Amino acid sequence: MKKDTQPAVLILAFLRQYGVKRLIESCLENDVSRIYISIDGPRSDSDRSIQLEMLEIIRELQATTSTQIFVQKHKVNLGVGVGVISGLDWFFSHEYSGHILEDDLQVDSNFFIFSRLALLEFANHESVKMISGSQLIPIASRGKDVHWSNYPMIWGWSSWSNKWKEMKDGLLQRKSFVCFQKNSTVNNFWAIGANRVLDGKVDTWDTPLAAEFRRRKWICIIPPSNLVTNSGDDLQAFHTKGDTFGLNLPVSKLFPTLDFYSLSSPEYVNTYNKQLEKIVFKVKKRHLFLPLYSPLRDRNHLMLKKAPLVDRLVQL
């Protein structure tokens, strides 16, 4: 593969200096054209020390390559939601398309090959907003057949600047839900979870994005086999735990040929969605009653509530 044929990469970083080093090295091995690193600000002197070491590692790698490596280092801690969204805004203000990797991920050449092919294939497909490198449903693997889903799988993903703008605008919109209607369980699970994020009760960004993907029937393209390992169950983890499904799942080889459309029918998409809901997201029948018990739970628990997500973004 010729130099500069692989799209740029954004690395979202915080306290995993060696994870950042590993990802930069993977990018350089796979002829990535440009590397962007967005580092959220420290919360303590200990964080500051780790990030100084991270910056030194980045400088040492910059000195060994002609590949451009850009760094955005925040002075204050923005948190997960604002930190990720601001990093994506920065990246896509400079690049038409690219890959997004967090500092707890490991990838090899298969991720870059698949993601680049899919970016070229679906650039003008209106419904496809995201390319994922994660295949968390082992029984779904069918060799060369690429899966389509209405859920964004963000452990290693790729997109385009115009489609990121659509995703960002959509995820910041408040979600509607209904109380105790038949078949409203899944919708309530995502809508109420999304609104808690938007209200500042949970610091993340992917829950409202998933709610918007499902509502608008946007498509995330998913590889036939898993191409990303998430090892984020260490002390720096915010939301992942040792029992989080899919953690430390090994990377598999990519089939030599790919069929991007064999599993694109609504029936296949819905089947894959249901597998994710059951196995990965763990949507239960009790979530039908979220409109009732979610407000009670929030009232009964002491919460370090932040300002609404939109307000925090405006303050940047």
pLDDT of residue 301: 63
pLDDT of residue 294: 77
d(CA 144, CA 255): 6
8-state DSSP, 6: B
Q: Which residue numbers in the chain have pLDDT < 70? A: 1-4, 139-142, 180, 182, 232-245, 296, 299-304
C-alpha distances out from residue 32 to 28, 36, 87, Å: 6, 11, 18
**CATH architecture of the domain with range 1-103:** 3-Layer(aba) Sandwich (3.40)
pLDDT of residue 4: 46
Structure-token match 């090959």, residue found: 113
Domain ranges of the chain: 1-103, 109-316
Total residues found in the chain within this entry: 316
Tens-digit pLDDT profile for residues 281-308: 999 888 877 877 777 677 666 566 789 9
138-174 burial, b at 16+ Cβ within 10 Å, e below that, comes to: eebeeeebbbbbbbbbbbbbbbbbebbebbbebbbee
Q: What are the residue ranges of helices labelled H in 217-281?
A: 266-275
pLDDT of residue 304: 64
For residues 33 and 67, the answer to whether their CB atoms sit within 8 Å is yes
